[in-house]
Amino acid sequence: MTRRTKSIALCSAVLAGMSLALPATAFARDKPSDWAPSGTPLVATGYGSTSTGYGTFRVTNTSNGLVARSGGYNKIRNVDDHKAYFYMQAQSNAGRCSAGFSLGIDIVGSGGAYGKNYSCTQSFYDTGGTKASGHTSSSTYTYSSADVAADDKANIMRGKVKQCVDVPFRSDPCISGWGISGADTY
C-alpha cells in the first residue's frame, strides 16, 4: 500500500467512525420540551414577592423566520406591585462533527463553515437572550413568550430559562439556577 493510499484509507475510516458518533436527534423541529414542568415550576423570590413559572422551548417557523421560542406561564404572590416574568437564553451548536472539524482543521473552505461558536467537545454556546414579552401581576398563571432568531450556522438549540421578579427601580431578583430544556434540531 502506498503512503497516499494509507492516508486515504485512514481518513475514510476516521470519517466513517465520526458519522457513527453523531448525536441522536432529541426532538424534531417545532416539538416542545420543558424547561420547567408545571408540577415543579421555577421559583424566584425578592422584596417580599414570589414569582413562579413553567414552560417549554422549541425551534419554530414564524412570519419573522426561524426562531427559538420559550413559552411559559407565570404568576406572582405580590407585594408592592411587582410582576413575574422569565428570561430566556437560547443556546446552540452545530450538532454535527467531522473528523477535520473535531481536530480543528478547516476542511470546508476558507474560514470554515461553522464559525467560532461550534465545537465537537462543548455542548452548547449562548447565542441570544431576551425577557419574556409579557410580565404579569396576576395571582393565576398567565402565558407569555420570548423569541430569539435561530442561529443560521447551527442545527441544534435549547433554551436556558430563569424565573424573575420585576421590581420597579431596582435590580430584578431571579432564581439562582437555570431551567434547561431538551434540545430541538432543525
Q: Is residue 6 part of a domain?
A: no
Domain count, the chain: 1
Q: Is residue 3 part of a domain?
A: no
> What pLDDT does residue 146 have?
94
- The strand ranges marked E within the chain are 33-36, 42-46, 49-62, 65-77, 83-93, 125-131, 142-149, 156-166, 179-180, 184-185
> What pLDDT does residue 121 have?
60
> What pLDDT does residue 160 have?
94
- Measured from the Cβ of residue 24, the count of other Cβ atoms closer than 10 Å reads 6
Q: Is residue 104 part of a domain?
A: yes
> What pLDDT does residue 84 have?
94
Residue type, 23: P
Q: Is residue 9 part of a domain?
A: no
Phi, psi (rounded to 5 degrees) for 23? -70, 145
Q: What is the CATH number of the domain that holds 162?
A: 2.60.40
Task: Give the sign of the dihedral formed by CA 113, CA 117, CA 122, CA 123.
Answer: negative
Q: Is residue 10 part of a domain?
A: no
Q: Per-residue pLDDT for the chain (186 aa), expressed as one digit of tens each? A: 565 444 444 444 433 443 333 333 334 477 889 999 999 999 999 999 999 999 999 999 888 888 999 999 999 998 788 999 999 999 988 755 544 444 444 333 333 444 454 556 667 888 889 999 878 888 899 999 999 998 877 888 899 999 999 999 999 999 878 999 988 887
> What pLDDT does residue 88 have?
95
Q: Is residue 86 part of a domain?
A: yes
**DSSP state, 138?**
-
Q: Is residue 8 part of a domain?
A: no
Range of the domain at 124: 24-185
> What pLDDT does residue 12 have?
44
